[in-house]
Chain A
Amino acid sequence: MPSQIVSLVVNGEPREFIAAPGMTLLAGLRESLGLTAAKRGCGQGTCGSCTVLVEGQARAACLVAVETVAGLSVSTLEGVATGGELDAVQSSFVDNFATQCGFCTAGMIMVTEALLDRDPDPSEEDVAEAISGNVCRCTGYQPIVIAILDAARRRREERASR
């Protein structure tokens, strides 16, 4: 079967690209659509640096064949900030020094977005579980856990003041 056109809704916008059979969602995002926030780390679903949301659920984009998500909605880090303004999770990562080299950050932020959409008030244990598939080799994780708990608080306050 030759390459085919795959249609996705990426960060709210309908997008199309040509995909060779078995192309990963990660390759589609990075190479065809130029969305390079999701990183290729291990290519085996072990490091979490390629995490994106498919229909709001965290997924390792390196393990997804694009054919299996045709027509579905995909969210990447590029779509998180609205109008050039960082969202609560992003600004919390900045303020809490939760990013050093930055390679894991896109994945960490996307699992956090999925976690907080599901559970606005997670415990530290819930946070540890949510990021248990995301490897960080710089921070020792503690600043990331603090940033996620802080982001949850910021989000709850934003909601309450609205």
Chain B
Amino acid sequence: MAIHAVHVPESAEAAVALAGRGAWVMGGGTVVMPLVTSGAATATELVSLSKAGLSGIEVRDGTVRIGAAATLTAVGEHPRLAFLRPALRTIASPTIRNQATLGGNLFVAQPYGDLAVCLLALGATCEIAGPGGRRDAPVAEVLASGVTGGEVVVAVLAPLPEPGTWYYRKAMRRRLNSASIVTVASVTRTAGGVVTSSGIALGGVAPRPVRAVSAERLLLGRPLTPEVLTEAGEAARADTAPADDAYASAWYRTRVLPVHLRRAFLG
């Protein structure tokens, strides 16, 4: 379909009004523009968030609020978000990260989305603006079912992990610019040598990033030893629905999941 208009509104309210008319919301354009250029876009209007004042990143009381239009480059450069750099560094190339946005990353219907995996592990919340006002929704809900027509994710709020509680591991074909075979991200707290709370998210092993609730449950009250983590990784298979793709087979992903879950914690 031919595009009739590309709007570049200067406020979130104006963006919501345009989204309400059926315009596709565009972050950096890395996903939308190829569809536009090839004629595969099913919308006739686009609304870019690039000038809508949604690019800010602020930290207050241990929580970061990242505007939906913040680029992956900007997220990685923020001094308080250094823990996300290993994840960001392998997402596409620096050129694409200069353009791709946090908000857009949540709406790419693919198994990988390493930043979304991190946000899921952090238990992040999406701030959504719509015709009926603002609402909050867990990032898990937005990943699973999106938002309703006319709504726009304007920001993501995430609690910053306490020192020593963040774990991340990605298995891939190449060290850079490579989609995930298995991605593991976790915020896990321990006290007295045993796990007191754990949030684990997985990428590459289901149509969208998923929480490994079976592994989280299994870790509670137990030490982070190779045996316990292997058991947790085997349990996590119940939370996955892997597929074959150009990078690995579903069989391979299932096979190596416990290995990479263990390595996320123990290296």
Given contacts A48-B95, A51-B95, A132 and B6 within 8 Å (CB-CB): no
Q: What's the tally of chain B residues with a CB closer than 8 Å to chain A?
A: 31
B98 touches A64 (CB 8 A): no
Which of A31-39, A55-63, A90-98, A143-151 contacts its partner?
A: A55-63
B3 touches A22 (CB 8 A): yes
CB distance from A66 to the nearest CB of B (A): 8
Indicate whether A109 reaches chain B with its CB closer than 8 angstroms: no
CB distance from A32 to the nearest CB of B (A): 16
Q: Which residues of B contact A133 (CB under 8 A)?
A: 92-96, 177
Task: Choose among B2, B93, B176 the residue that contacts A48 (Cβ–Cβ < 8 A).
Answer: B93
Task: Choose among B36, B73, B99, B176 the residue that contacts A60 (Cβ–Cβ < 8 A).
Answer: B99
Given contacts A45-B34, A128-B176, A133-B177, A67 and B48 within 8 Å (CB-CB): yes
B34 touches A129 (CB 8 A): no
Task: Choose among B7, B30, B38, B73 the residue that contacts A45 (Cβ–Cβ < 8 A).
Answer: B30
Q: Which residues of A contact B38 (CB under 8 A)?
A: 43
Indicate whether A81 reaches chain B with its CB closer than 8 angstroms: no
Q: Which residue of A lies closest to B37 (CB)?
A: A43
A68 touches B5 (CB 8 A): no
B5 touches A1 (CB 8 A): yes
CB distance from B167 to the nearest CB of A (A): 23
Q: Which residues of B contact A129 (CB under 8 A)?
A: 89, 93-94, 176
B177 touches A65 (CB 8 A): no
Q: Which residue of A lies closest to B35 (CB)?
A: A44
Indicate whether A111 reaches chain B with its CB closer than 8 angstroms: yes
Q: Which residues of A contact B34 (CB under 8 A)?
A: 43-45, 62-63
CA A60 – CA B6 in complex, angstroms?
18
Indicate whether A18 reaches chain B with its CB closer than 8 angstroms: no
Task: Choose among A1, A21, A62 the residue that contacts B37 (Cβ–Cβ < 8 A).
Answer: A62
CA A59 – CA B97 in complex, angstroms?
9
Indicate whether B195 reaches chain A with its CB closer than 8 angstroms: no
Q: Which residue of B lies closest to A66 (CB)?
A: B6
Interface-centre pick from A67, A132, A134 (highest chain B CB count, 10 A) = A132
Given contacts A24-B37, A48-B93, A51-B95, A67 and B8 within 8 Å (CB-CB): yes
Indicate whether A70 reaches chain B with its CB closer than 8 angstroms: yes
Task: Choose among A1, A58, A131 the residue that contacts B98 (Cβ–Cβ < 8 A).
Answer: A58
CB distance from B15 to the nearest CB of A (A): 13
Indicate whether A9 reaches chain B with its CB closer than 8 angstroms: no
A132 touches B93 (CB 8 A): yes
Indicate whether B238 reaches chain A with its CB closer than 8 angstroms: no
Q: Which residues of B contact A68 (CB under 8 A)?
A: 6, 8, 29, 48, 50-51
B48 touches A1 (CB 8 A): no
B50 touches A63 (CB 8 A): no
Task: Choose among A21, A62, A63 the residue that contacts B4 (Cβ–Cβ < 8 A).
Answer: A21
Indicate whether A8 reaches chain B with its CB closer than 8 angstroms: no
CB distance from B53 to the nearest CB of A (A): 14
CA A134 – CA B95 in complex, angstroms?
9
The 27 sampled A-B contact pairs (Cβ below 8 Å) are A1-B5, A21-B6, A22-B3, A22-B36, A43-B34, A48-B95, A58-B94, A59-B99, A60-B95, A60-B96, A63-B29, A63-B34, A65-B26, A65-B29, A65-B36, A65-B46, A65-B48, A67-B6, A68-B6, A68-B29, A68-B48, A68-B50, A70-B8, A111-B95, A129-B89, A130-B94, A132-B94
